Structure 1
């Protein structure tokens, strides 16, 4: 049974890579339906805070459920516990803290909310099932350069993501409306500093886990967030004549 399930988890990881490519293509071809791009209409929408909390929550709840209902033999090993903790810490922040820091925020179309929730269920199961039941690491994996560099990238990426979100939340003073050019932090170098942080975070996780499952998630994140960053970059260039022309899209000094 174990080899069969391990094969299934590998298939799910490769499918996640395909989902990343198709999702990126869909974002390019279809009109964006989130945030500043949402057009007024009668379609069903979910309040911003509720949408973020509920759509991200499966990435926290599903792994806890997976580990509670099985023996989770592999979690007796320190590398497995740390890697799963890295995943859970991110989603604890995204589902239990970030939504309640949102100031205003446009309602999320129901379809976008449902698709995001489904992905979080999918990925939460994939990562937690692999780490709790199938991932085999030597006890000294936590001293391997791949793990150490990956963990540092994960931590730096998460801090950049949180700091960049803080800058975006505080662009407007109380009572102000409209959009402003983000200033400070990595926004001095890229349009999507928050996305850059998340890409670095999950690439670090992929490196530390050294698994198809970890790298598939990093690849999916890069595909989706690169496309969104390109849309944001073009929007700022069109809306603000004084938008810094030297800013890159998502990777400092590259693109």
Structure 2
């Protein structure tokens, strides 16, 4: 595998290598913490797995929290069009897909999602910083690669296809989730339709495919590391989500997996 890396990725400088390792380790650790019962405090896991008294926590609504989480990353992507206006096609695709991903998430927060709880500020801050710094480093790593020879194996067009599949599948399953509740309904229900009949978190699966698409378009070590780290985190989050549904709903189908049909 290692001899293949120079053919697949632009050669990264030491700083990008270091940040790539930090990205994978930090996100992987958060995913492992989810499995161990220390959850990021939002959605159905708000106030679960925390030892602090609830009265000492600072919370915002889920809608506000999600807007705060996604907006800086979107602005970083949008600003990159002005900061790096004359780059090549690959860089344009990276900027466009990354910016569109977070723009879509903002639109979903405003017009699609139904909310049942809040978000703890202590969790909101690292989530926001993770999205923002990762977007910045994906763009910066691509900028540094401009002066380098292209990788021998060009993956940007398969990356575009994967990104389209990921962003479309993610939106479709978010729509299915939103239809589970009326406007004022805050109760959780077992989702149905689409890939929900096979896995409890298909929206995470398609989000992973979307970030894989971006990493293939970029072909930089940092973009790939963010994809790996995001996958590790969402694996942990989907695992505990399935465990939560099993504990809350006696009729939850045992053959519905967490993230990957028939496998995990």
Q: Is contact 2:34–2:240 with CA below 8 Å preserved after alignment?
A: no
Q: Is contact 1:56–1:91 with CA below 8 Å preserved after alignment?
A: yes
- Correspondent of 1:17 among 9, 18, 24: 24
- Correspondent of 1:199 among 192, 208, 211: 208
Against the structure 1 CA distance between its residues 31 and 21, is the aligned structure 2 distance closer, same or farther, given a 3 Å change threshold? closer
Secondary structure in 2 aligned to 1:108? strand
The one-character-per-residue Cα deviations of 1:123-175 (angstroms, maximum 9, x if unpaired) are 1210111223434577899xx66222221111101111111111111112355
Q: Is contact 1:90–1:158 with CA below 8 Å preserved after alignment?
A: yes
- For residues 104 and 18 of structure 2, what CA distance do their matches in structure 1 show? 29
Aligned to 2:38: 31
Most deviating of 13-22 and 58-67: 58-67
- For residues 94 and 25 of structure 1, what CA distance do their matches in structure 2 show? 25
Aligned to 1:188: 197
Are residues 1:156 and 2:165 paired? yes
Aligned to 2:96: 85
- For residues 35 and 98 of structure 1, what CA distance do their matches in structure 2 show? 15
* Cα drift, residue 18 of structure 1: 1.2
- For residues 83 and 66 of structure 1, what CA distance do their matches in structure 2 show? 10
Are residues 1:107 and 2:121 paired? no
Segments of 5+ residues of structure 1 without an aligned counterpart are none
Q: Is contact 1:84–1:131 with CA below 8 Å preserved after alignment?
A: no
- For residues 106 and 148 of structure 1, what CA distance do their matches in structure 2 show? 40
Aligned to 2:136: 125
User: Cα RMSD (Å) of the superposition?
Assistant: 2.4
* Cα drift, residue 83 of structure 1: 1.7
- Report the count of equivalent residues: 245
The one-character-per-residue Cα deviations of 1:53-77 (angstroms, maximum 9, x if unpaired) are 1111111112344553x5x37x521
Q: Is contact 1:80–1:137 with CA below 8 Å preserved after alignment?
A: no
Give the TM-score, by structure 1 length. 0.87
- For residues 99 and 38 of structure 2, what CA distance do their matches in structure 1 show? 32
- Correspondent of 1:98 among 108, 113, 118: 108
Most deviating of 163-172 and 18-27: 18-27
Segments of 5+ residues of structure 2 without an aligned counterpart are 1-11, 48-52
Against the structure 1 CA distance between its residues 136 and 98, is the aligned structure 2 distance closer, same or farther, given a 3 Å change threshold? farther
- For residues 220 and 136 of structure 1, what CA distance do their matches in structure 2 show? 27
Secondary structure in 2 aligned to 1:76? coil
* Cα drift, residue 229 of structure 1: 0.2
Are residues 1:50 and 2:50 paired? no
Q: Is contact 1:79–1:137 with CA below 8 Å preserved after alignment?
A: no
Against the structure 1 CA distance between its residues 108 and 76, is the aligned structure 2 distance closer, same or farther, given a 3 Å change threshold? same
